[in-house]
Amino acid sequence: MRPDPDLARRLELAEHIQRQWYPSWTSAWLKAVPASAVLESIHREALAEAGADPSALVTARRAVVQTFLEDHFSLCTPEDAPYCTFVDGTWRAIDRAEMLACADRLLATARARIVEVEAEEAAERAEAEQGGWLDAVSPSRLADRMIDLDALRRWFTAELWADPEPTWFTNTRPGFTGEPAVVGIDDHVITILWLP
């Protein structure tokens, strides 16, 4: 592993991300964990053997991602998270440009969902105000939830990472109809951005 002078800040951000709560099916979700929590001896050996070989590094990191999804993902997400979808999915390595395109599509869909919920709730509040029953309106489904999609994008695409660029994976492909996700992994952090 390469020395990382910014590691403490990156791990602190990962911990901050773990504490975020998201609206169940409305927005994008982001989770991040220290790689050290996932790495087993078999992973450490494969990563050491991979060295600077890009192909071997992708293979070794894909195995770490699989272990993360199988054994750790469910520990940092609610029960209704797409555990089986991700564990049984096919994760292909992608470059930064495709990662950005995947993340931006995912976040655009989340943004549209949030706008739709906000419009529905505004209409309900307007009707309630007109009918005199505004005090009976429930709090917003988005209240106290992480819906700052710009922050999610910034964290996922930039702030969690040091040089060199992490390895990126996605489960998306032409014709994909499941829950889209992108995973980033480097020597110290594993993160997943997905749209339930």
pLDDT tens digits, residue range 133-185? 988 888 888 888 899 999 999 999 999 997 778 999 999 888 887 888 999 99
* One-letter amino acid for residue 73 of the chain: F
Q: What is the pLDDT of residues 30-83, one digit of tens each?
A: 999 999 999 999 999 999 999 889 999 999 999 999 999 988 877 766 555 555
Instruction: State the DSSP H helix or E strand holding residue 85, giving kind and residue range, or none if neither.
Output: helix 83-87
Cβ distance 35 to 186 under 8 Å?
A: yes
Judge if the upstream peptide bond of residue 34 is cis by omega within 30 degrees of 0.
no
Q: What is the pLDDT of residues 90-103, one digit of tens each?
A: 899 999 999 999 99
Instruction: State the DSSP H helix or E strand holding residue 34, giving kind and residue range, or none if neither.
Output: strand 29-34
Phi/psi region, residue 144 (left: phi>0; alpha: psi -120 to 50; beta: rest), is left
